[in-house]
Structures are given as C-alpha cells and as structure tokens.
C-alpha cells in the first residue's frame, strides 16, 4: 500500500479528521486529501516529517510492508 493511502487508513482507523492534520501541519486540506486518497503520489520528506510529528508516530509507521 502506498504511503499516502496508509496515512489515510491510519486517520480513518483512529477517527482523526484530515482537517486536523491540515491545521496541525500547515499542509493545505486539499493536499492532505490528495495524499490520503493516493491522487498525489509524491510526498516530500518535509511533508512526511510534519505528518508523522502531528500524528506523534515514528517515521517507519507508514513505510512498513
């Protein structure tokens, strides 16, 4: 599963809204939506780090098979 889709699944499983992630990271809501649905395939390191920090998860969380 792609990183963005894993992030989206994590949010859904834990009842966290994409709006929370957008507000916490400073990444636009539309970009968060695109990342989570897989419409946006490229996630840069800075955005990935912001997302992991906002969700308080280790970087490896969304990279595991």
CATH of the domain at 38: 1.10.260.40
Residues 61 and 7: their CA atoms lie apart, in Å, by 9
**pTM for this prediction:** 0.87
Number of domains in the chain: 1
- The pLDDT tens digits along the chain (65 residues) read 688 889 999 999 999 999 999 999 999 999 999 999 989 988 899 999 999 999 999 988 887 66
Residues 58 and 56: their CA atoms lie apart, in Å, by 7
CB 6 within 8 A of CB 43: no
Residue 63 lies in a domain: no
Residue 62 lies in a domain: no
Residue 7 lies in a domain: yes
Tokens read off for 46: 């800075």
Residue 47 lies in a domain: yes
Residue 42 DSSP label:
-
């Amino acid at each position: 599963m792609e990183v963005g889709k894993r992030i989206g699944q994590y949010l859904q499983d834990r009842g966290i809204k994409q709006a929370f992630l957008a507000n916490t990271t400073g990444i636009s809501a539309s970009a968060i939506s695109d990342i989570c649905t897989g419409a946006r395939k490229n996630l840069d390191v800075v955005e990935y780090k912001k997302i992991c920090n906002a969700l308080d998860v280790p970087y490896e969380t969304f990279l595991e098979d």
